[in-house]
Amino acid sequence: MEARERLREAKRVVVKVGTSTLVHASGKPDFRRMDRLVREIADLKNEGREMVLVSSGAIAIGMDRMGLREKPAEMPARQALAAIGQFSLMTLYKKFFSDYGQTAAQVLLTKENAARHHQYANSRNALLELLSMGAVPIINENDVVAVDEIKIGDNDTLSATVATLIDADALLILSDIDGLYTANPQTDKTARLIPVVREITPEIERMAGGASSSFGTGGMATKIEAAKIAVNTGVTFVIAPSEREDVIAAVLAGDSVGTVFPAKESHLNVRKGWLAFGKRIAGDIIVDEGCAEAMRLKGSSLLAAGIVSFEGDFSAGATVRVLSENHQELARGIVNYGAAELLKIAGRQSRDFTNLLDGKIHEEVIHRDNMVLMV
Rounded distance between C-alpha atoms, residue 321 and residue 330, angstroms: 8
Compute the distance between CA of residue 111 and CA of residue 280 in angstroms, rounded to an integer: 8
**Rounded-to-integer distance, Cα 305 and Cα 302, Å:** 9
Q: Would the annotation count 223 as a binding residue?
A: yes
The span from the CA of 295 to the CA of 333, in Å, is 12
Residue 219 annotated as binding site: yes
Do the Cβ atoms of 93 and 73 come closer than 8 Å? no
Residue 218, annotated as binding a ligand: yes
358 assigned ligand-binding residue = no
Read off φ and ψ for residue 345, nearest 5 degrees: -110, -10
Question: Is 242 a known ligand-binding residue?
Answer: no
Spell out the residues 6+ positions from residue 78 whose beta carbon is closer than 8 angstroms to its own: 59, 71, 72, 143, 150
Q: Is 111 annotated as a binding residue?
A: no
337 in Cβ contact with 365 (< 8 Å): yes
Known binding residue 56? Answer is yes
Please give the DSSP secondary-structure letter assigned to residue 329: E
For residues 297 and 278, is the Cβ–Cβ distance under 8 A?
Answer: no
- Would you say 155 is a known binding-site residue? yes
Q: For residues 230 and 242, what is the distance between their CA atoms, to the nearest angstrom?
A: 20
- The answer to whether 184 is annotated as binding is no
Determine if residue 16 is labeled as part of a ligand binding site.
yes
Provide DSSP, 210-263.
-TT-SS--TTHHHHHHHHHHHHTTT-EEEEEETTSTTHHHHHHTT---SEEEPP
Determine if residue 217 is labeled as part of a ligand binding site: yes
- In angstroms, the CA 106 to CA 5 distance is 32
Residues belonging to the binding site are 16, 56, 143, 155, 175-176, 217-223
Residues belonging to the binding site for ATP are 16, 175-176, 217-223
Residues belonging to the binding site for substrate are 56, 143, 155
